Amino acid sequence: MRRSFRTPPQLEASGDTPMGAAIEQGLQMLDARKQVYRQSGITYYRPWVFLITDGGPTDSWQHAASLVHAGDNDERKSFSFFAVGLQGANMEILAQISHREPLKLQGLRFRDLFAWLSSSLGGVSRSTPDTKVPLTNPTGPSGWASV
């Protein structure tokens, strides 16, 4: 059953951040979707996975980090993983989870983050698979992030 975003799910914060389990589940869901594409003969671009958090994991995250590092490398090209920390995020742990340096969202510049994401993915979708596409630096003078 497909859920329309017109009816967003009811979300409730509980104080826990099972980040390791969430990353593992997200990567399992991504693998399942890619398997459906392969079985259907549908080509796809390297997926992007974003982790956006204002805290740190309250569960074991080391196995999730090893999965991220194994999948987000130039040889396997399983996915590209991006970690974005909001105010209060544990940037040290995000740096250990992510293959690339985590970015810190400046203030509440979500609009700029998603505009950058849309523009970047638009460039990727107009490219040929397996070609590198230069991205606008999100930490530049008008960027939405800092390192």
Q: Domain boundaries in the chain? A: 46-127+137-146
Q: What pLDDT, on a 0 to 100 scale, did the predictor assign at position 76?
A: 75
- Identify residue 42 by its one-letter amino acid code: I
Q: What pLDDT, on a 0 to 100 scale, did the predictor assign at position 64?
A: 98
The answer to whether 134 touches 90, Cβ cutoff 8 Å, is: no
**Which DSSP letter does residue 10 get?**
P
Q: What pLDDT, on a 0 to 100 scale, did the predictor assign at position 106?
A: 93
Instruction: For residue 128, name the pLDDT band (cuts at 50, 70, 90).
Output: confident
Distance (Å, whole) CA 96 – CA 32: 25
Q: Mean per-residue pLDDT for 78-90?
A: 94
Shortest CA distance to 136 belongs to which of 126, 124, 127?
Answer: 124
Distance (Å, whole) CA 146 – CA 138: 8
Percent of the chain with pLDDT over 70: 93
Res 108 pLDDT > 60: yes
